[in-house]
A and B are shown apart, each in its own frame.
Chain A
Amino acid sequence: MPMPVPMQMIRQVTRQTDLGVKLRRGALCWPLLLALTACGGGETAPDPVVVVNQPPIVSAGADLQVSAKAKVSLSGSATDSGVLQYRWSQQSGPVVTISNSTLANAEFNAPELYRSTNFSFQLEVTDTAGLSSRDTVLVTVKPLPMTTSEAARLLQQASFGPTAADITQATSMSAEQWVAQQLALPATTHADKLQNPPNQDRPAPVSRLETWWRIALTAPDQLRQRLAFAWSEIMVVSDQGNGLNNQPVGLANYYDLLLQYGSGANSSYRQLLEQVTLSPVMGVYLSHLGNQKPDLARNIRPDENYAREVMQLFTIGLVLLEPDGTPKRDSSGQPIPSYDQPMIEGFAHVFTGWTSAGTVRFDRPQPDYINPMIAFADFHASAEKKLLNNTVLPAGQSAQQDLTQALDNLAGHANVGPFISKQLIQRLVTSNPTPGYVGRVSAVFADNGQGQRGDLTAVVTAILLDEEARSGDLSQSGSFGKLREPLLKTTHLWRLLQSAAPSGRILTYSLADSHAQAPLQSPSVFNFFRPDYAPTTELQQLGLVAPEQQIVTDSNALNLQNHLYTQTYQSIFEAVTSPGQNQMLGRFKPYADLLSQQGLTALLDHYALLLLAGDMPTPLRQILTELAVGLSSQSAEQQAAALLYFILISPQYAVQR
């Protein structure tokens, strides 16, 4: 029976051993133990041992969880005889300065950050003989809960407009926690909530808009809804001037696809692209529903509409891009086209043979605007198809096989990360992200950290938690921000005022006049405005774009102002005596009370937080004060309403920063 050998002997034999992370008494020693005793045994006394020096036993302390900006103590200890030398060093994580790094107890300041981040530090202790041991400690730095203005800034980017309640709820957590919580919420779908317009027996386009407003104003899954709206401006369908003009249910279902596949748990870009491609609403809009294989005798070739627009607008764009979103250049400095006519024809052939669910005869499509399209083999082009990146689909594949592989080909192209990421950033955060910002998000699109491509939860989290999103108003003051879209000004306003009509309905009929936009009602597949629109010479020379300015004309700028005036000063719930049944009325009591009880400064501070994330410059404050003074003979509600109107039309509010 092997006799256990005292550990002292083991240490002799293993002098100068680097014991690594922690001294593990088991694994290293047993084999040696057996070898040493193989020839021994019995009860003879051990041979005399010579005591030699051994390295210290080191502990870098237990793993820590700390807050951003906290002073963190690294508590090390070591046992050994003699004078010991201590040395702390950082092994991983964003670089920090370690104070007292040559003492057992060191410190560092956890930086400000927006995502939980791991840092590791190593303590190396050396004895007088020069033997050393090391140990590491893991420090997880968690972001701080948001301040009120930080919460307001995030809510501007990730909701339909911050309210006091939203801000209070958000300040109990960090931005990271808020975003994670939001993305985990179930989606509030639209299609199952359509109401018939008054005196009508089925939903109409106004019904779809009503549901959109109601959800924007009240649904808890605000970020997912904002994302659906953003996707609706990228993967565009519209009911304007085409066969979808009286298909509100179909369009609401399409919107739900964007909502359910474009946000939330397990949302992937590849899945979203497939759902959009197979949507019968998209099939009608970009005419691949009913698209047929070539008929050479009649010079008929497949419709190229979807093939062209899916590449130009939904996936890769016109030119090759670096990961940071800047165009690649050829040797003469010119941008490089990302696809050519043969590729368009290749994809056009892929998208053949598809028609609406329930169809029996291909040339008589069933009017189904809800279920995914189905394929008819006889109408699918069977020849080989040239796609991107030198991929050629072999002849003879089924419609489903061709579609799957073609969508893989599109979604897998290196352009998609920067092309899509930059547009999502523009929809939520800023019109002019730095290439660095785009690059960081593209990297997450390419790989979410677990080897997955196109993980939309990871991408959206990366967009909102990036330092540029969280503090770009300070670091990029000249170029950061975006013009607020008209629809989002109204959602914010109605959320702040809890606006409602006596009838309980939200019926908006002339949004094209008052807002120059409405959900899923753009004039073409190019959305209301282009991502690269630079409206003036001045902005072009600064290298800045302002997409939302493309819908602003002299008339509709004034129309929107008038609408905001109507919805504030002329729609005070507490003052209007004979409202129209469907007239939206705003509740001004909380603001009026604040003004009466705590004074103008308190109200302006409150408005500043709700509308400007706390940043109300002095000139604006002075104008508002003058306005209040000039209206001092009016009721508190009227004053509160007039002040709100002025902020809503101000240049400060016009830009979301």
Chain B
Amino acid sequence: MDQLSRRDLLKRALQGGLGLAALSTLQLTAMSKALAAQSAPVDGYKALVCVFLFGGNDSANMLVPLSGDRLSAYAQARQSLAVTGALPISPRTAVADGIGIHPALAPLQPLFASQQLALISGVGALQQPTSKLEVQQGKALLPKNLYSHNDQQATWMRGQEPLSLDRGWGAQMLELLQTNPDFSGCISLSGTNLWQRGQLLQPFGMSAKGVPGLTAHNGTGSRAILMKNLQTALMASQPQPLANLYAQSNSAAQARSLIITDALTQAPPLQTVFAPDNNLAQQLQMVAKLISVQATLGVGRQVFFVGMGGFDTHDDQNTVHPALLSQLGAALASFAAATTELGVADQVTTFTMSDFGRTLSSNGDGTDHGWAGNQLVLGGAVQGGDIYGQLLQQRLGSELDVGGGRMIPTTANVQLFASLASWFGLSDSQCRQIFPALSAFDASVLPLFR
């Protein structure tokens, strides 16, 4: 980057650079809009919402056979963990002997029927297609540390194998589509995350409860002004790198929070009910509010990150997993309803990611770290009501089983990402830039969207 223009300085400030605490909210908002207007124009408004299921969701159990040989293979593999009472669904691509979703996902059944919800089956992390033989002979080129939680969470968020600088595809999409992506296009309700980290972009991290203001700055008297001004001076650039990290991060937090707080005051009341004791639902409620003020923030593209933990069901899976799926289903259904209420259902696509699937085989009362699984994609623009990719066969010892019911994915997660990114506005070459492994696979795009 050459010499920093005033515009660049402001851009850096809003992404996470300098402190602007002394500026009024109005001034900051005006600057933010001015910057957004100067960036390369994007088509209308779209938002991608990533729902990360931390711990490795036993997503195979979200989609279970109803009868026949596939059901017996399933029961034999899953033993006491086999799901009963599955709710039948009728995908457009018919499944012999029938297929059902986990009963805890009941709120999603109507969304599947009305073709807003799609399932991607047999999807997982791959660098290139591989086979059971290659894996067993140790010759397969696999993602590193395939069964390690933090490594696989990073693999899904990066969309590629680790390079020397860590970036995630959520932020990278924004940085490819716009020359000055605004920080308010990159919001997390579930903490710092690699998916939303770009070259300059750092996600705006807030809680479902909202954005705090700084108590010390409350009021309009001379003391509040004194505190504000001196705090700005306090958070000036520092020579020592860690101190500078703190100063930058702190001043950015202040400046960005003012902008978001101000925008949220414009949010219309939402009628859609989000269960108060459902943490994921509360996060998605805040996402809906943020989407409702997208025009105030002046952003054409947004990526949101929400998350849910507890999916590492080594133990007690029959008790724990249904409760989690119940929260997931209810939260997604509420969110779909909210986007309809806001009239943006076609412009918002929500999708799940998780560390990995889990072993088809049981350890007695739970499962261990697996590989391929199923993911959900939801939105008005989605060609829903179908199962994409090859239906994950829940059969031990098949040609996809590399041991204990860890199944080789038949669809690479980058194929799913490319489909989402393409809808979001990325060109084919831009997709290949951020998902280099795409070139190893045939049909690079799943036809997920209308």
- For window 612-657 of A, CB contacts with B under 8 Å fall at 619-620, 623, 626-627, 630-631, 645-646, 649-652, 654-655, 657
Q: Tell me, yes or no, whether A546 is within 8 Å of chain B by CB.
A: yes
Q: Whole-angstrom distance between the alpha carbons of A299 and B80 in the complex?
A: 11
| B230–A627 CB distance below 8 A | yes
Instruction: Mark contacts of A252-288 with chain B using CB atoms, 8 A cut-off: 1 yes-contact digit, 0 otherwise.
Output: 0000000000000000000000000000000010110
Closest to A650 in B: B234
7 contacts between A and B (CB under 8 A): A479-B241, A524-B55, A535-B202, A546-B245, A558-B254, A654-B242, A654-B243
Known contacts A298-B362, A553-B205, A566-B215; 6 further A-B pairs (Cβ under 8 A): A241-B309, A300-B361, A302-B364, A308-B368, A524-B312, A649-B231
Residue from A291, A303, A550, A562 in contact with B192 in the complex, judged by beta carbons closer than 8 Å? A550
Q: Contacting B206 at CB < 8 Å: which of A337, A523, A538, A553?
A: A553
Contact partner of A554 (CB less than 8 A), chosen from B76, B79, B252, B362, is: B252
B284 to chain A, nearest CB (A): 17
Q: How far is the CB of B382 from chain A (nearest CB, A)?
A: 30
Chain A residues, CB < 8 A from B206: 553-555
In this assembly, does A463 line the interface, its C-beta being within 8 Å of a C-beta of chain B? no
A631 engages B223 (CB within 8 Å): yes
- Closest Cβ of chain A: how far from B170's Cβ, in Å? 16
Q: Is B247 an interface residue (CB 8 A)?
A: yes
- A291-B312 Cα distance, complex, nearest whole Å: 16
Q: Which A residues are CB-close (under 8 A) to B254?
A: 558
The tally of CB-CB contacts under 8 A between chains A and B is: 206
Known contacts being A287-B366, A304-B363, A555-B212, is A626 close to B230, with CB within 8 Å?
yes
A341 to B234, CA, bound (A): 51
Do B309 and A481 touch (CB < 8 A)?
Answer: no
Interface residue? A292 (CB, 8 A): yes
| A3 sits at the interface (CB 8 A) | no
CB pair A304–B249 under 8 Å, yes or no, is: no
| Contact, CB under 8 Å: A431 / B245 | no
Closest to B213 in A: A558
Query: Contact: A299 with B77, CB < 8 Å?
Result: yes
**Which residues, 78 to 113 on B, are CB-close (under 8 Å) to A?**
79
**Closest B residue by C-beta to A513:** B207
Does A557 interact with chain B (Cβ within 8 Å)?
yes
Q: Which of A285-315 contact B (CB under 8 A)?
A: 286-287, 290-292, 295, 298-305, 308, 312
Complex CA gap A68/B244 in Å reads 36
| Distance between A124 CB and nearest chain B CB, rounded to angstroms | 51
Q: Give B contacts to A, CB under 8 Å.
A: 16, 54-55, 76-77, 79, 145, 147-151, 164-166, 188, 191-192, 199-200, 202, 204-207, 209, 211-216, 222-223, 226-227, 230-231, 233-236, 238, 240-247, 249-250, 252-254, 256-257, 309-310, 312, 314-316, 361-366, 368-369, 396, 403-405
Nearest chain B residue, comparing its CB with the CB of A335: B144
Q: Closest B-chain residue to A552, C-beta based?
A: B249
A121 is an interface residue with CB less than 8 A from chain B = no
B79 touches A549 (CB 8 A): no
- Given A554-B257, A631-B226, A299:B362 Cβ within 8 A: yes
Cα–Cα distance between A482 and B223 once the two chains are bound (Å): 32
* Interface contact B230-A646, CB-CB below 8 Å: yes
Q: How far is the CA of A601 from the CA of B54 in the complex (A)?
A: 52
CA distance A197 to B214 in the complex (A): 31
Cα(A523)–Cα(B192), bound, Å: 13
Residues A538 and B256 in contact, CB atoms below 8 Å apart: no
Q: Are B223 and A630 closer than 8 Å at their CB atoms?
A: yes
Within 8 A of B (CB), among A516-559: 523-524, 526, 530, 534-542, 544, 546, 549-559
The reply to whether B238 and A651 form a contact with Cβ atoms under 8 Å apart is yes
By a CB distance below 8 angstroms, the chain A residues around B312 are 305, 524
**With known contacts A552-B192, A623-B234, A534–B245 Cβ distance under 8 A:** no
Please report which residues of chain A, range 476-534, place their CB below 8 angstroms from some CB of chain B when the two chains form the complex. Answer: 477-479, 481-483, 513, 523-524, 526, 530, 534
A549 close to B245 (CB less than 8 A): yes
Within the complex, what minimum Cβ distance (angstroms) separates A489 from chain B? 12
Of the candidates B166, B215, B405, the one whose C-beta lies within 8 Å of that of A562 is: B215
A147 interface residue (CB < 8 Å to B): no
Known: A318-B148, A630-B223. A303 touches B363 (CB 8 A): yes
Tell yes or no: A243 within 8 A of B by CB.
yes
Contact B310 A526 (CB under 8 A): no
Query: Which chain A residue has the least Cβ–Cβ distance from B79?
Result: A298
A537, A552, A566, A651: the one contacting B234 at CB < 8 Å is: A651
Cβ–Cβ < 8 Å partners of A67 in chain B? none
Residues facing B in A228-244 (CB within 8 A) are 240-243
Q: Smallest CB–CB gap between B23 and chain A, Å? A: 17
Q: Is there a chain B Cβ closer than 8 Å to A565's Cβ?
A: yes
Q: Is the CB of A291 within 8 A of B364?
A: yes
A243 to B233, CA, bound (A): 47
Is A536 touching B364 in the complex (CB atoms < 8 A)? no
Q: Are B234 and A646 in contact (CB under 8 A)?
A: yes
Q: Which residues of B contact A552 (CB under 8 A)?
A: 192, 205, 249
A539–B368 CB distance below 8 A: no
B362 CB contacts on chain A under 8 angstroms: 298-300
| Contact between chains at B207 and A651 (CB < 8 Å) | no
With the chains together, A542 CA to B240 CA distance in Å? 12
Q: Give chain B residues whose Cβ lies under 8 Å from the Cβ of A542.
A: 241
Given the known interface contacts A299-B76, A530-B150, A651-B244, the answer about A287 and B310 at a Cβ–Cβ threshold of 8 Å is no
